[in-house]
Amino acid sequence: MSYQENHFVVVILTALATHLWLRSRAPASTSVISLWLFAISSTAAFSSLIGHNVGIAKILQTYFLYFVALTSSVIIYRLSPFHQLARYPGPLLCKISKLWVAYVASRGKLHLYHKELHDKYGPIVRVGPNELSVVDKDFIPTLLGTPGLPKGPLFDGRVITTTKDRDASYTLISTPDLQRHAQLRKPWNKAFGSEPMNDYAEILVEKANLLKEELMKRCQLSADQRGHVDLAGWINFFSFDFMGEMAFGGSFDLMRHGDKDGLWHGMQSALLTAGVTQHVPWLAHIVRAIPSTGVALRRFGQFAVNQAKTRFSKEVEKRDLFYHLIHASEPDSDPTAPNPTYLPLVVSNATLAIIAGSDTTSTVLSNIFYYLIHHPEYMKRLKAEIDEHFPLSDTVHGTSAIELGKLGSMKFLNAIINETLRLQPAVPTSLQRQPAKGSGGQAVGEYFIPEGTAVNIPPYCLHRNPRYFSPRTDDFWPERWLLDKTTAKGFVHDMSAFIPFSVGPANCAGKHLALLELRYVTTLLVRGFDFKFEEGFTAQMWEDGIEDRFVMAKGPLPVVLTPRY
C-alpha cells in the first residue's frame, strides 16, 4: 500500500472510531468535545505523516478529510436502518441534525411545523437524530405522570442564568433527578396552598384594578371617550407588575410608567435565544458567549439574579411567593429575616418565577380577548353571564365587587378559558422527557423508547388532534366544554389529552393562581368595557404574530375600548 493510500485509510478509520466514541457520549460539554476532536484528528494527521516531508497544505488537507469522513459517517448512520429510531418516520433534515429544528425555532413557528409533521407522518414523528414527537395520549401517563421520566436535554439548552449565579440542586424547573425534583416540589406545593393563595389574590385584585383604571384613563383622555390601546401590551405590563409583587415583594410599575427600562423587551429577547438553544444544548454556551447573540440572555439572567438578591436582602412587607417558599422549606424559620441558606433557593428559581409568573398568563389573557373580539357572539354571551353574577351597581366605584369565589362556577367563562388554552397553550411544544440514564430504555405499550432518546409531547398539536377533540378541531368553539359527550352524536372531547399545564409531578405548580388570574382579569375587563379591533387590524395579523419561543409569544393587539358605565 502506498504512502498516500495508507494515509487515507488511517484518517478514515480514525474518523470512524471517533464516531463510535461519540455515539456513547452525548456532547454535553462543547469545550471537552472540541478538545477531544482536535486531539484525535491531530493524532490521525501526524501519525500517518511521520517520516514524510509535508507542508501545511497537507496537514490542513488531512484535517479536512478527517472531518468530512466523520460527518459522513454520522449522517449515514443516522439515516441507516441500523439507527435505533429508524422505524419512525420524519423529515430527512430532522434525522440528520437538530440544527434544522433550531433554525425552524428561530423563525418562531415550531408549533406549526410540528403540527404539519404530525398531519403528514402520524402520531409519532422523528424530529431529531435521537428525538421523537408524540401526539398519542397513551404516552402521557408514562412520560409525564407519576413517577414519569426525567427531564430531557431541552432544559439544559434553555438555562438563562449562568452556573455561577445558580445552584442546580435548588432549581425546580430543570432538575432531571426525579427524587430531587420531588423534594423540591413539596415546598412549591405548599407555597401555592390555600393560605398563600389568599395573599396572592389580594395582590392580584389590586393590580388588576389598576389595569382597569389605567385603561379607563385612556378612554377619559380621548376626545371621543374611547381608548385606542395595544391591549396585549397593557396585559404584559399588568402581568409583569403582578409577578413582581407576588414573587419578589415589589412592583415594577410598568402600568404607571411604561417599560422605560426595557424589562419586558429584555425578557422576550432572552426567550427568543433560549427557544433556539434548547434544541442544541451543546451549542448554548457558545451562543451565550457571542456578544451579538448572547447579550439578551446575559442581561435578562443578570436582571433575574439582581431581583432575587434584592428580594433576599430587603425587609419583607408582604407575604410573597418566596416568603411562603422559604417557610414551606423550613417551617421553623423566619422568612422575613435574611439567611445565607435561603439565597440559593431564591436566585436559582428567579427566572422561573419571572417567566411563569408573567409571560405565560399574559399570552393566554391576550388570546382570550383576541378570540372574544373576533367572535362577538361569544363576547355578548360572556357579558350576559358576568352581568348575571355581578350586576352593575353603584356600590363600589360604580360597580359591585367581583367575588373571587364565584368565578370557578361560571360555566361559560371557564369554557372560554379552556378553549383558549386548548388552541393556544402557553407552552406549545416543549414538554420533553427521556428515559433515565442506565435504565436501558422505557416501554410504552407496543413501543420502546431507547435510552438516549428524548420524547416531546407538544400540547399545541395534541389539543388539535381530531382523535381527541372534534368536530371543529381547529375552531374556537367554547360550546365543546358545555356539551354532554354521552348524548352528543359524533362529539369527541377527551380530557385526558388536555394538558395546558402539563400533568403529573412536574405540572405547573401555580396552576390554580393562573386560573384565578385568567378568570378575574377577563371578568373585570369584559364587565368594564366594550371592545373592537382597531380599524385595519385583522384576525390574521394576530395569528401571524403568535410565535413559539418555548413559551408562546405574541404581537400587538390594537383595540378600541368603550366604557360600559
Binding residues for heme: 508
Distance between CA atoms of 26 and 328, rounded to whole angstroms? 37
145 CB neighbour count, 10 Å cutoff? 15
**What residues contact residue 292 under an 8 Å CB cut-off, 6+ apart?**
none
The annotation places the binding site at 508
Contact 81, 427 (CB under 8 A): no
- Give 552: exposed, middle or buried? Use CB within 10 Å, 0-12, 13-18, 19+: buried
Cell numbers standing for residue 522: 377577563
DSSP string over 483-551: S-TTTSTT-EE-GGG--TT--GGGS-TTHHHHHHHHHHHHHHHHHHEEEEEPTT--HHHHHHH-EESSS
Q: CA triplet 97, 101, 102: central angle to 5 degrees? A: 100
C-alpha distances out from residue 469 to 113, 187, 417, 429, 472, Å: 20, 35, 16, 18, 8
What is the amino acid identity at position 55?
G
- Rg of the chain over CA atoms, in angstroms? 27
Cβ–Cβ < 8 Å for 77, 94:
no
DSSP state of 396: B
Burial (CB < 10 A; 0-12, 13-18, 19+), residue 459, is buried
The residues near 241 (Cβ < 8 Å, ≥ 6 apart) are 207, 210, 251, 252, 253, 254, 255
Q: In what order do the strands lie in the sheet with 558-563?
A: 227-230, 558-563, 529-533
Count of residues in the chain:
565
Identify whether the C-beta of residue 404 lies closer than 8 Å to the C-beta of residue 435: no
**CA nearest 539: which of 373, 422, 421?**
373
Residue with cell 451549542: 283
* Cβ contacts of 462 within 8 Å, gap of 6 or more: 135, 137, 468, 497, 499
